[in-house]
Chain A
């Protein structure tokens, strides 16, 4: 155990400190402490990333360990790994729950993403949350979240991941319900927690099936040697005609789908926007929601070698979700909800990339894996940026609705430019980061599955359209009557915007494929110019349509709406998926199944208990007269007893 443990210890201690004595410290001190703590963590994470990727060696426990194997592939390093719960015996010598820290390319990359976005959010929140009730509580939960998310990505085994997985769920719940006096926030928090918990149940069952056969939780053993352990212990086993491995991995994916808001678990994410905007940027855009993608990436060798069908399933789920969410995003009017649906759509992109990915680094077969992680990285930066810009706009006009906005580019110049950069990035315009990562995803899809490629290319166009619809509606369009003149956000809010915009500008030039690949062997990506051209043209068409329709107020949006009338209404109501959920839970589960169970409970179970109680009562009622407390009565019984005994003794 050495300095790397501080990555987890500092946020956790900060959570305890701010949570316990935050009220005494006061908001200013709490904000400064939280931010300072996270700055240290960020510096550490950058140091780890620098030594791992660039120096190719990490000093752990005082020993400089090389980060590359003899054959040039990246090596997973463990800084510590202690046994938390030992479940081993002669049959299963390796089954123990451990807590440790694993450093390999994807976890180190995630450390950078999480700490960067989290630090920016900490700084931004000092301005955004200024004067809010519960400021200290907010910072303490942010620290808890940072701790949980960092613990999740450095997990050495699947059970540790599950523990931290639930912890991020809790902190997400707490932040969505931060304004707990607002009924809608409470409802959204409950919804998010219940939906993700429901999916986590599948995750747990998946873990248990996998570990039941492999007799270990460790990623190293499960993934090692092209998932040979899974192959020898579970290969060929079937249950009801399905491969057991496929069932386990599908269940694990469903857990990831819950956290990453894949169809049909996407319903919680738009409502999660009830939380404070910076926390949405951190949790519901950049880090927690990509945990599902990270999970699949973490177990990628198992998926690829043992359950290719599940990987195809993931690709189709991702493709459908991205299209579905993008269509809804085109119709929403609440700016945070547009961003929420865009997040769902972009995460689905990452899922698609994993789904279509191959494994080997040679001939760019594992391009999808790299592209997925790359998109995760760039998306985290530009989506956090978009959310923070949205926060600055909401801060200025005190409304989430597009109708209260318009022509704001002259009031909020910094927000305007950074928002525009992020829009270009998400739309996939070179040279911004989103172009590169999205282009690699499209290339991977093109080489694997034509249907998915066409779908994703169309979604890329939709993305450009709805993002620029948002952009023009906020910053151009007609100026509404403001309650007061909007003003640019304070420095604490604009600096994080500028930093993230800088990341967005340079994120595309990082040679990601050298660092992060499925096989851990670096390679060079050659850009496929045809596909790049197609995606840029599609994006430009999307932008052009958006410009035409929303730059100035005109009749075109209404005309287009009229053409797709029914479809528009459906999309506006999110295709009524929430209503379907309500129907299933209220009408079918509560209405039919639960009515029967409640009847059974009330009449059979309770009835039996009542019968027992009633009998006891009756017996005691009948016999309590014996204990009257009247000494004379006792004496009478006593005398009669003596007389009886004497009579028996004498005459028998």
Chain B
């Protein structure tokens, strides 16, 4: 079975724009965080796919995919810690209602 490269790219594009859409319209911080993960994963798919189809004998694409996963994990950890703290202080994680620092 040989899936053509276009299918992968369509998948990653869809994932990317779903992520962007979610980042823009979601009001819940956790939702925004999940959207960012979607965007990152869309990028990961691109790395891996281009590595597999264009330069099968090299490993840089895979390595970057792994690297992004690690960074994303770290980023998620920090973000969730922030969100928990925000929730503790404001009893709320809705971006529209967190405006105490404005003005």
What residues of chain A have their CB less than 8 Å away from a CB belonging to chain B? Answer: 629-632, 635-636, 639
A150 CB to closest chain B CB (Å) equals 64
Evaluate contact between A632 and B102: CB separation under 8 angstroms.
no
- Identify whether the interface residues of B are mostly helix, strand, loop, or mixed: helix
Q: Please indicate the chain A residues that have their CB under 8 angstroms from the CB of B99 in the complex.
A: 629
Evaluate contact between B23 and A629: CB separation under 8 angstroms.
no
What residue in chain A is nearest B27 (Cβ atoms)? A632
Q: Please indicate the chain A residues that have their CB under 8 angstroms from the CB of B20 in the complex.
A: 635, 639
What residue in chain B is nearest A639 (Cβ atoms)? B20
Evaluate contact between B95 and A630: CB separation under 8 angstroms.
yes
B64 CB to closest chain A CB (Å) equals 21
Interface centre among B24, B95, B102 (most CB of A within 10 A): B24
What residue in chain B is nearest A642 (Cβ atoms)? B20
Evaluate contact between B24 and A636: CB separation under 8 angstroms.
yes
For chains A and B in complex, what number of residue pairs have CB atoms within 8 angstroms?
Answer: 16
What residues of chain B have their CB less than 8 Å away from a CB belonging to chain A? Answer: 20, 23-25, 32, 95-96, 99, 102
What residue in chain B is nearest A630 (Cβ atoms)? B95
A630 CB to closest chain B CB (Å) equals 7
Evaluate contact between B23 and A635: CB separation under 8 angstroms.
yes
Q: Please indicate the chain B residues that have their CB under 8 angstroms from the CB of A631 in the complex.
A: 95
CA A96 to CA B86, docked complex, whole Å: 74
Q: Please indicate the chain A residues that have their CB under 8 angstroms from the CB of B96 in the complex.
A: 630
Evaluate contact between A635 and B24: CB separation under 8 angstroms.
yes
The 6 A-B residue pairs whose C-beta atoms are closest, nearest first, are: A636-B24, A632-B24, A629-B102, A635-B24, A639-B20, A635-B23
B16 CB to closest chain A CB (Å) equals 10
CA A639 to CA B17, docked complex, whole Å: 10
What residue in chain A is nearest B21 (Cβ atoms)? A639
CA A639 to CA B22, docked complex, whole Å: 13
Q: Please indicate the chain A residues that have their CB under 8 angstroms from the CB of B95 in the complex.
A: 630-632
B2 CB to closest chain A CB (Å) equals 29
CA A135 to CA B67, docked complex, whole Å: 87
Q: Please indicate the chain A residues that have their CB under 8 angstroms from the CB of B25 in the complex.
A: 632
CA A636 to CA B95, docked complex, whole Å: 15
What are 16 A-B contacts with C-beta separation under 8 Å?
A629-B99, A629-B102, A630-B95, A630-B96, A631-B95, A632-B23, A632-B24, A632-B25, A632-B32, A632-B95, A635-B20, A635-B23, A635-B24, A636-B24, A639-B20, A639-B24
CA A629 to CA B96, docked complex, whole Å: 10
CA A636 to CA B21, docked complex, whole Å: 9
CA A636 to CA B24, docked complex, whole Å: 6
A626 CB to closest chain B CB (Å) equals 15
CA A265 to CA B25, docked complex, whole Å: 82
Q: Please indicate the chain B residues that have their CB under 8 angstroms from the CB of A635 in the complex.
A: 20, 23-24
Interface centre among A631, A632, A636, A639 (most CB of B within 10 A): A632
CA A631 to CA B32, docked complex, whole Å: 11
CA A561 to CA B99, docked complex, whole Å: 87
Given A630-B95, A631-B95, A635-B24, 13 other A-B residues pairs in contact with their CB atoms under 8 A? A629-B99, A629-B102, A630-B96, A632-B23, A632-B24, A632-B25, A632-B32, A632-B95, A635-B20, A635-B23, A636-B24, A639-B20, A639-B24
Q: Please indicate the chain A residues that have their CB under 8 angstroms from the CB of B102 in the complex.
A: 629
A444 CB to closest chain B CB (Å) equals 83
Q: Please indicate the chain A residues that have their CB under 8 angstroms from the CB of B23 in the complex.
A: 632, 635
CA A158 to CA B100, docked complex, whole Å: 68
CA A173 to CA B50, docked complex, whole Å: 93
Q: Please indicate the chain B residues that have their CB under 8 angstroms from the CB of A630 in the complex.
A: 95-96
CA A162 to CA B74, docked complex, whole Å: 81
B20 CB to closest chain A CB (Å) equals 6
What residue in chain A is nearest B32 (Cβ atoms)? A632
CA A630 to CA B24, docked complex, whole Å: 10
A627 CB to closest chain B CB (Å) equals 10
CA A635 to CA B95, docked complex, whole Å: 14
CA A635 to CA B99, docked complex, whole Å: 18
B29 CB to closest chain A CB (Å) equals 11
Q: Please indicate the chain B residues that have their CB under 8 angstroms from the CB of A629 in the complex.
A: 99, 102
CA A631 to CA B36, docked complex, whole Å: 13
CA A613 to CA B20, docked complex, whole Å: 41
Q: Please indicate the chain A residues that have their CB under 8 angstroms from the CB of B32 in the complex.
A: 632
CA A629 to CA B100, docked complex, whole Å: 12
What residue in chain B is nearest A634 (Cβ atoms)? B24
